Amino acid sequence: TRSLVELSITDPMTGAYNIKHFEETLTTEVCRSETTRYPLSLISLEIDYFPQIKEVHGQAQANEVIKAISRSLNGMIRAGDSLYYDGNERFYFLLPFTPTEGLVVIAERVRRSIEEQTWPVVDSLTVSLGCTTLKTDHETAQLMIRHANEALQEAQRKGHNRVSLSAKS
Ligand code: C2E
Ligand code: C2E
């Protein structure tokens, strides 16, 4: 059984952390990183063509895909990293102590691993990822999220199933 605190920070369907907890944790980590100068990285990830998956297979089946992806993503990162789900088709990885060089390594490993696995419901599945590293000169949590999401949109614009790094890293 889960404690009340756990329930309040967890997305019930996937078991990933929820978006409220994401915003709170990111704010804390940004402050910490600005004080310590340890690097802080963020990945924004979306399942490619998820609206079509929902349309073709229905919400219940699409949820099975989300659950499988979430489980897989959780096993791909270090214990000190954390995974968040926005309740729709987007996930975030928060990666403390991780510089841009490492960020690109993880993002590409995640992308490839998703592409190579087999999934329930669908024949194949890919994801797009947007990456950013905190700049220490007064970048806020909200700005960091925006930079990751802009990089994600660029990855999608360039054809999906790819990693894009924010120019503002
Ligand atoms: P963990 O740190 O929680 O990492 C979980 C999984 O995330 C790893 O499972 C691996 O699939 C992936 N991962 C994390 N960091 C890296 C990385 O730098 N490169 C790559 N390619 N994958 C990474 P895995 O490999 O089965 O390791 C299980 C656990 O064993 C890790 O849990 C960690 O506690 C420990 N471990 C494995 N290799 C090392 C290592 O080289 N150094 C340290 N300090 N611990 C390690
Ligand atoms: P690598 O797999 O080429 O990863 C290079 C760098 O990417 C890592 O440097 C780290 O900065 C970042 N990185 C990769 N995966 C993760 C991750 O899941 N979470 C976070 N936070 N950072 C990640 P680092 O830490 O100096 O590790 C050097 C090498 O040690 C890694 O090269 C890998 O070969 C090995 N390693 C470390 N931990 C693990 C692990 O848990 N599992 C495996 N399989 N290898 C590991």
Task: Dump pLDDT digits (tens) for 81-106.
Answer: 999 999 999 999 999 999 999 999 99
Q: Could you tell me which residue, 2 or 111, shows the higher pLDDT? A: 111
Closest to 42 (Cα-Cα) out of 147, 168, 121, 138: 147
Model pLDDT for residues 63-83, shown as the tens digit of each residue: 999 999 999 999 999 999 999
For residue 156, what are the contacts with CB-CB under 8 A and spacing of at least 6?
A: 46, 48, 128
Domain ranges of the chain: 4-165
Query: What is the 113 CA–ligand 1 centroid distance (Å)?
Result: 15
Strand segments, DSSP code E, in 10-118 are: 40-47, 82-85, 90-96
Whether 169 has a pLDDT exceeding 70, the answer reads no
Closest to 42 (Cα-Cα) out of 116, 130, 120: 130
CA–CA distance, 131 with 129 (Å, rounded to integer) = 7
Query: What is the 78 CA–ligand 1 centroid distance (Å)?
Result: 6
For residue 124, what are the contacts with CB-CB under 8 A and spacing of at least 6?
A: 115
Does the domain at residues 4-165 carry the CATH identifier 3.30.70.270?
yes
3-class secondary structure, 62: helix
ipTM: 0.92
From 40, 43, 74, 78, the mutation candidate for ligand 2 (largest count of ligand atoms within 8 A of CB) is 78
Q: Count CA atoms within 13 Å of residue 55 on its CB side.
A: 4
